[in-house]
């Protein structure tokens, strides 16, 4: 349909501030801020970009070329929109394949632009279907996790087994990386938890967990390191980064 050397598909992340590389040959883990680079510009403006020579465009980032040895010349980038018309990604075709008798640095044509727009529309449908599938899988996982926790709480398991089940299954319920279950010991004025083989004991009124234990209120923190109550000691010992 449209001959080019390679194609890439970026998806807008949940924050709406970055593009995440979804499909590309020889590349992964690339994130591009909206408004930066060719793909970022398309995501910001919603306008198709047809560039004959990438290296003459100040927005082009040559870092991938330098690290991979690949040479980018022409770029055709189109916004990917969902059913509501909102931009959800960017589709790029890179390096137009020269035809017989054409120059080695061929540019994408008007016909290529039309084809790219059609492909971008199909990509929007594909991304939406992928999101629906992930949401379905996530919902099923949450239901299974909730059932496991309910079974544990209604059975005659010991406290250690109950704590283990909750800490293992709760992350799936809250879309979290990990879970710690603290028990309050009011006699010793401590909070106690088992994190793997690590026995954690902290004063009942210290840290985020202590603030919850003494106030009986739920606390939802976006940036733990910006909260003066957060105890960074466990992160420093384990190398883990709490956000």
pLDDT band of residue 195 (cuts 50, 70, 90) is low
Q: Are 133 and 145 in contact (CB under 8 A)?
A: no
Q: What are phi and psi of 144, to 5 degrees?
A: -60, -40
Query: Which residues in 182-229 belong to E strands, given as ranges?
Result: 183-185, 190-195, 198-203
Q: What are phi and psi of 7, to 5 degrees?
A: -135, 150
| pTM given for the model | 0.54
pLDDT in tens, 105-164: 678 989 999 988 888 888 888 777 777 667 666 677 777 777 776 676 667 767 777 777
Residue 109: closest CA among 61, 57, 48: 48
Angle between the N-to-C axes of helices 159-174 and 110-154, in degrees from 0 to 180, rounded to the nearest 10 = 160
Rg, C-alpha atoms of the chain: 25
């Amino acid at each position: 349909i449209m001959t080019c050397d390679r194609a890439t598909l970026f998806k807008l992340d949940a924050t709406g501030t970055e593009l995440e590389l979804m499909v590309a040959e020889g590349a992964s883990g690339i994130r591009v801020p909206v408004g930066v680079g060719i793909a970022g510009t398309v995501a910001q403006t919603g306008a198709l970009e047809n560039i004959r020579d990438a290296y003459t465009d100040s927005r082009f980032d040559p870092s991938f070329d330098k690290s991979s040895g690949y040479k980018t010349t022409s770029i055709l980038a189109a916004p990917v929109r969902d059913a509501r018309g909102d931009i959800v990604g960017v589709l790029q075709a890179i390096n137009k394949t020269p035809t017989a008798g054409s120059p080695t640095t061929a540019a994408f044509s008007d016909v290529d632009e039309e084809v790219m727009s059609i492909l971008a529309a199909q990509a929007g449908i594909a991304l939406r279907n992928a999101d629906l599938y992930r949401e379905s899988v996530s919902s099923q996982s949450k239901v299974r996790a909730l059932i496991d926790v309910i079974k544990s709480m209604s059975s005659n398991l010991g406290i250690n087994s109950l704590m283990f089940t909750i800490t293992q299954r709760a992350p799936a319920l809250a879309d979290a990386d990990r879970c710690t279950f603290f028990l309050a010991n009011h006699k010793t004025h401590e909070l106690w938890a088992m994190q793997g083989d690590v026995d954690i004991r902290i004063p009942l009124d210290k840290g985020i967990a202590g603030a919850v234990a003494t106030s009986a209120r739920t606390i939802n923190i976006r940036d733990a390191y910006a909260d003066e109550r957060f105890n960074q000691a466990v992160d420093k010992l384990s190398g883990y980064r709490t956000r």
